[in-house]
Structure 1
Amino acid sequence: MLCCVNPDCPKPVNPDENNYCHSCRAELIPLLGGRYRPTQVLSDEGGFGRTYLAEDIHKLNECCVVKQFAPKLQGTGPLTKAIELFKQEASRLQELAEHRQIPTLLAYFEQNNYLFLVQQFIDGQNLLKEWQTRGSYSETEIRELLLDLLPVLKFIHVRGVIHRDIKPQNIIRRQSDGRLVLIDFGASKQLTATVQTKMGTVIGSHGYTALEQMQDGKAYPASDLFSLGATCFHLLTGVRPSQLWMQQGYGWVASWRQYLSSPGKNRVFLSVELGEVLDKLLQLDIQKRYQSADEVITDLTPRLSPSSSVPPTILTPTFAATRVNKGPVSSQPNNKLQSQLLLGSSILVFGLGGVWYFQTRPNPMREFSQPISPLIQPKKTVPENPFLPEPLNGHSSDVNSVAFSPDSTTLASASDDKTIKLWNLANKAEIRTLEGHSSWIWTVAFSPNSKALASGSADKTIKLWNLETGKLIRTLEGHTDGVSSVTFSPDGKTLASGSASQDKTIKLWNLQTGKLIRTLEGHTNGVPSVVFSPDGMTLASGSWDKTIKLWNLKTGKLIRALEGNPDSILSVAFAPDGLTLASGSKDMKIKLWNLKTGKLIHTLKGHNDKVNSVTFLSSASPNCVTLVSGSSDKTIKLWNPVTGKEIRTLKTGSGYIYAVAISPDGQTIAGGGSGENILKIWQMIQ
């Protein structure tokens, strides 16, 4: 199909063979700039131009976006000025496109008395469509959005550019990496405002546009920040600022919090800190508002997100589960990280979970050969529904990681509220709170002797805690981005840590000295999951780069990469025999891998959102194994890994599940995430 580029044409799409538009009778232009074939209208600027999806015939019909500016250029005066402004804006966009989260400028030219600008096509979904598909965002996802976009705003503001129209429709989550991309910059808006004859033309969108921009047509960095705050409000509450503006103008801004618990909607839980940030973003008085992106980042610091769009879940090894980058998001996420991330040790792995591979195992590889009997049965002392969760209340924000002590007496939970809580499983009472990290805590793991705990945070540090005294033993520093996964070696002498997107490395630490042993490099994105093999000879890592890597710990060399997953790996876990690996992914599926051959055994389908956590539980019998998964679809599922069939689903009530852990004695499942009850446990028996 071929699009008519008359901006007033009511039905611009034509068959390829037409020379003149079947609707407006204008002559069709097969190629713009001699190479760009317009095929579809993406948006309409109301007679002042349109945005088209086009094919670049010089690049094997690769998709691109063509922006048209109108009205037709004729005469001098304002229209001559418009041409000058167009060239200036095109040059500026070319400079801005140096940033990976801004579309690349491919060309700009004049043709048939129209101005055209060609930009990179971003394959992904804008946040309005994403919100319509998956519902309102969590607090953590809003923080990830802010920390992904604020550096982009800083980048453009430093170069003298104000976007002027930030809203969910103009933010795309790039499919390839989950990062947020800011689109639709001021070139068309600036030009339109220049050539329009009527006075008082406003660039922006009602409800998202700051007061000074709406009244006076003047925009500043603080104006973009107001729009970003309105965007966060929309995605957080599900209430469109444009609708509120039509009803009450700017009256909604002073009372925006009332929409956190609108009738007919789930209650939105918001921390004091993020609430204060949104308060300041949404100030009507520009003097009381944030003046720069850096100021907002400072108030969120050190809530460093692993790069938004990355997946929102990370796991830690040994009896622990975790999540970093919840989300998309996302994402990233994501999002979360999501996208969302960390998982514990041998029995359980979530989010960025772990992988164990027996490179030196003498026996030949075998898969599960007999039907696996469900290991989890209802606890007979529970009178009615044993699968209803029991909440553990104490955290004030999302729980990203949960881990059981190897002796099954204690549960640890790590949260966005910067605290770790220890819980007595016998009476469900809080034992103590560990404080010391300066940002979100993404992962926790118990030492094999249950005497120490390791935690990793967005503040880029790892902390080791004495569980008898609750005191800090030491802090390990060296990562250049948030620590998304930690795990102890089986002998308790070594700690492995994985980091988020700006770092992408795995580090091995000597726990006796606190010194770095070795850094493993090879992933091209964040590493949300690391775990030791049961014999301590191999480390497995799962990454947002869609691969799982197996490492020889003696040499630091790569043994094998498991590839072929279509989306980010959020969680990995070894089966008890050490011969099979499970992975959870942003693509909503669970995969079982043969570690000897590196081949895929099964793909388990049943979740309808990201699989943030997978873990195995087994009894003394090698053929009695259950696979457990937690998802952003608000469920935990139990699977028979031999048949690939679902055994049962545990309903969580509300909120995403970011981390899942099973106590070593098999009597308790813990789930951490978002929602009303952000930490839940289920009492089970073997």
Structure 2
Amino acid sequence: MLCCVNPDCQKPLNSDKNNYCHSCEAELIPLVGGRYRPTRVLSDEGGFGRTYLAEDVHKLNECCVVKQFAPKVQGTGPLTKAVELFKQEASRLQQLAEHPQIPTLLAYFEQNNYLFLVQEFIDGQNLLKEWEMRGSYNEREIRELLLDLLPVLKFIHVRGVIHRDIKPQNIIRRQSDRRLVLIDFGASKQLTVTVQTKIGTVIGSHGYTALEQMQDGKAYPASDLFSLGATCFHLLTGVRPSQLWIQQGYGWVASWQQYLNSPGKDGGSLSVELGEVLDKLLQLDIQKRYQSTDEVIADLTSQLPPLSSIPPTLLTPTFTATSANTKLALPKPNNKLKTQLILGTSLLVLGLGGGVWYFQTRPNAISEFSEPISQPVTSQKNVLESSYLTKSLKGHSSDVNSVAFSPDGKILGSASDDKTIKLWNLATKEEIRTLEGHSNWIWTIAFSPDSKILASGGADKTIKLWNVETGKLIRTLKGHTDGVTSVAFSPDSKILASGSASKDRKIKLWDLETGKLIRTLEGHTNGVQSVVFSPDGKTLASGSWDKTIKLWNLKTGNLIRTLNGNGGSVLSVAFAPDGKTLASGNNDKTIKLWNLETGKLIHTLKGHNDKVNSVVFLPSTTLNNLTLISGSSDKTIKMWNPLTGEKIRTLETGSGYIYAVAISPDGQTIAGGGSGENILKIWQVTH
């Protein structure tokens, strides 16, 4: 189904076959912003805009949220002002989305006189629906809620942002990790209020909104704290503040505790200490209310007995950089800790939402570090005793889909939806040059073994070969009938392999010296997402959306065998350095390890909460030192011992899906490309 994006349409849902809306007769927009397909209305702002569930057709129809703002203003002046305010709000949301409990801002744009924000879709239930299904919360659950949300509010308040509309509907419990995510910062509402001339229009919800916000529209950090208190009251007592507000205005606030055990309600008893905290949150007089989240946290943690299991929040040690070159304090490991990260003094480069980047040290992550590794590893100083420096490499204006290191380890390449490739000097952390020539999104890049040529492929169905030293285009290879999803050089630099999307489904082998097609490999029944050469250059592996991996003899072009048993589409394949093991990343959230001599499955690695977009092995000369790296749409990078199938470490990247990972030849630098602010991040470990 397809949604009409006319905000006044009464019945916006349409058949895919319709060109015009069956209800309002407006022309339907199949792809908003050229890539987002609206499928369902999530909420309505009364004609001023709507929020839609949508599919990102560029990312295998991943779910996302499209927020529409339709300013009803007369004349170009107010409209220009509305657009300016919209961009300011989008920029603010982009900064806030750096927090892992705030949805990532994916895009913002203007189309057909409408303004659009695209945000990450949070898979989970809001607390109102959760309350309706399970009943009222107990004291412990209210305390856990406060300890999980207060750090999020602190994060936005120190950046000068007031949410203005905190209520159960705007808090989602994320299904993957049970964390609470704060949504709907009301950009469209704030803009609507700003550009409308109606007096007395207030952002907020009756019963949850503080008195000062209702009276004159002014909101402060303490205003959000009132709303948080009202939310806790609702979840604790089962009584909706909005209903009480209709009946008695703010009269209920002074005697809120009478509703704990009122007839017909299932509210429970409450300790004196938590009652005092809620009392202070719900003060009508802003001067008597808590003024900051730190004050609330202090009372929760000092006056109340400790919880045996506090949820993993930003109260735990957190990387809180506000600029580049900020140190990360991590807890000291126990003496059982061993690590197989082989990072030494290394860099971690992430194509993620940037600005303030959070690396969270969660209790479950610490326990993972404490598990002994059964295989011997290279002796390294404990990484947890290190300090961490970060620096943003800014340049791309859209998603980073592919990253690659030159084999000499001097250059990092990144390719983006903005139709550009950027080359970065790893020594100076500066951009060397931008390569332009593709007419559509660029999905894949790879360096030749001698570091002199860069190959790129993308949605324009072409492959381009670039001179790395000069940045000049050498030639363009044409032949695929759909977008080029993956390119790879043979170890001897004589052959380039390319895979293509679902309308083509073919692999092509090209002679690099002449640019001519050597042969086409056919056999996959859906798009080929990943191609890679074996270390000896004799075999090519291909992973496909048809849920299979195929191994090809490069000399003859014949199919050696097909590896079946992947639970979902194969998004990435990688050879281990010895050429005897293959790893595959899949959209069923798993990684599979295959014995290439027998074709049998060795391990299935589980731990990601979303599809695994990229896998790569750390370079190693011995079997015992093997480490596998995976990047996922769950916003994490995970490190694995492929011999035992054990997860070594999880890197919480904070925001932004990870679409690609790459490792430098010396194994000391990891690069990742993804969504979010689309700024490459460098993580340097120093001892």
Return closer, same or farther for 1:236/1:643 CA change in 2, 3 Å cut-off: closer
Return closer, same or farther for 1:645/1:390 CA change in 2, 3 Å cut-off: farther
Return closer, same or farther for 1:603/1:279 CA change in 2, 3 Å cut-off: farther
Deviations 1:434-453 (A, max 9, x none): 11111111111000111110
Return closer, same or farther for 1:572/1:231 CA change in 2, 3 Å cut-off: closer
Shift of 1:183: 8.3
Q: 1:276 aligned to 2:110?
A: yes
Paired residue for 2:634? Answer: 633
Paired residue for 1:64? Answer: none
Q: Distance in 1 between matches of 2:433 and 2:669?
A: 20
Preserved contact between residue 207 and residue 241 of structure 1 (Cα < 8 Å): no
Equivalent position SS for 2:524: coil
Shift of 1:648: 1.4
Q: Return the match for 1:156 from 13, 18, 25.
A: 18
Deviations 1:565-622 (A, max 9, x none): 1111111111111111111111111111111111111111111111111111133333
Deviates more, 1:528-537 or 1:231-240: 231-240
Q: Distance in 1 between matches of 2:46 and 2:639?
A: 48
Deviations 1:188-241 (A, max 9, x none): xxxxxxxxxxxxxxxx99849989xxxxxxxxxxxxxx9898968997667588
Q: Distance in 1 between matches of 2:669 and 2:475?
A: 31
Preserved contact between residue 482 and residue 500 of structure 1 (Cα < 8 Å): yes
Preserved contact between residue 497 and residue 507 of structure 1 (Cα < 8 Å): yes
Deviations 1:241-287 (A, max 9, x none): 89x99xxxxx999776566345976486566xx613364588xxxxx
Shift of 1:672: 1.1
Paired residue for 2:491? Answer: 490
TM (normalized to structure 1)? Answer: 0.51
Matches within 5 A, 1:136-285: 155-157=17-19, 162=22, 207=44, 260=90, 261=92, 266=102, 275-277=109-111, 279=113
Shift of 1:377: 5.2
Return closer, same or farther for 1:477/1:677 CA change in 2, 3 Å cut-off: closer
Deviations 1:288-318 (A, max 9, x none): xxxxxxxxxxxxxxxxxxxxxxxxxxxxxxx
Q: Distance in 2 between matches of 1:457 and 1:497?
A: 11
Deviations 1:452-494 (A, max 9, x none): 1000011111000011111000000111111100001111111
Shift of 1:536: 1.8
Q: Distance in 2 between matches of 1:379 and 1:418?
A: 40
Q: Distance in 2 between matches of 1:396 and 1:589?
A: 30
Q: Distance in 2 between matches of 1:624 and 1:662?
A: 15
Paired residue for 2:569? Answer: 568
Return closer, same or farther for 1:572/1:374 CA change in 2, 3 Å cut-off: farther
Matches within 5 A, 1:68-87: none
Paired residue for 1:600? Answer: 601
Deviates more, 1:545-554 or 1:491-500: 545-554
Return closer, same or farther for 1:496/1:205 CA change in 2, 3 Å cut-off: closer
Preserved contact between residue 391 and residue 677 of structure 1 (Cα < 8 Å): no
Equivalent position SS for 2:110: helix
Return closer, same or farther for 1:430/1:378 CA change in 2, 3 Å cut-off: farther
Return closer, same or farther for 1:376/1:458 CA change in 2, 3 Å cut-off: farther
Q: Return the match for 1:385 from 384, 387, 390.
A: 387
Q: Distance in 1 between matches of 2:633 and 2:421?
A: 22
Deviations 1:665-684 (A, max 9, x none): 11211111112353223336
Return closer, same or farther for 1:557/1:648 CA change in 2, 3 Å cut-off: same
Unaligned stretches of 5+ in structure 1? 1-100, 103-126, 128-141, 143-150, 172-178, 185-203, 212-225, 246-250, 283-349, 352-369
Return closer, same or farther for 1:652/1:229 CA change in 2, 3 Å cut-off: closer
Paired residue for 1:556? Answer: 557
Preserved contact between residue 415 and residue 441 of structure 1 (Cα < 8 Å): yes
Q: Distance in 2 between matches of 1:661 and 1:509?
A: 23
Preserved contact between residue 638 and residue 646 of structure 1 (Cα < 8 Å): yes
Q: Distance in 1 between matches of 2:379 and 2:638?
A: 11
Equivalent position SS for 1:275: strand
Paired residue for 2:432? Answer: 431
Deviations 1:644-665 (A, max 9, x none): 1111122323211111111011
Return closer, same or farther for 1:162/1:552 CA change in 2, 3 Å cut-off: farther
Q: 1:667 aligned to 2:668?
A: yes
How many residues in Structure 1 have an aligned counterpart in Structure 2?
400
Preserved contact between residue 588 and residue 611 of structure 2 (Cα < 8 Å): yes
Deviations 1:41-95 (A, max 9, x none): xxxxxxxxxxxxxxxxxxxxxxxxxxxxxxxxxxxxxxxxxxxxxxxxxxxxxxx
Q: Distance in 1 between matches of 2:640 and 2:468?
A: 34
Return closer, same or farther for 1:238/1:500 CA change in 2, 3 Å cut-off: closer
Q: 1:410 aligned to 2:411?
A: yes
Aligned residue type for 1:385: S
Paired residue for 1:577? Answer: 578
Preserved contact between residue 237 and residue 268 of structure 1 (Cα < 8 Å): no
Preserved contact between residue 399 and residue 678 of structure 2 (Cα < 8 Å): no
Preserved contact between residue 585 and residue 612 of structure 1 (Cα < 8 Å): yes
Q: Distance in 1 between matches of 2:115 and 2:445?
A: 33
Preserved contact between residue 374 and residue 640 of structure 1 (Cα < 8 Å): no
Matches within 5 A, 1:332-351: none
Deviations 1:122-163 (A, max 9, x none): xxxxx9xxxxxxxxxxxxxx9xxxxxxxx985x532xx7747
Q: Distance in 2 between matches of 1:531 and 1:396?
A: 28
Aligned residue type for 2:576: A
Equivalent position SS for 1:623: helix
Paired residue for 2:297? Answer: none
Q: Distance in 2 between matches of 1:496 and 1:460?
A: 14
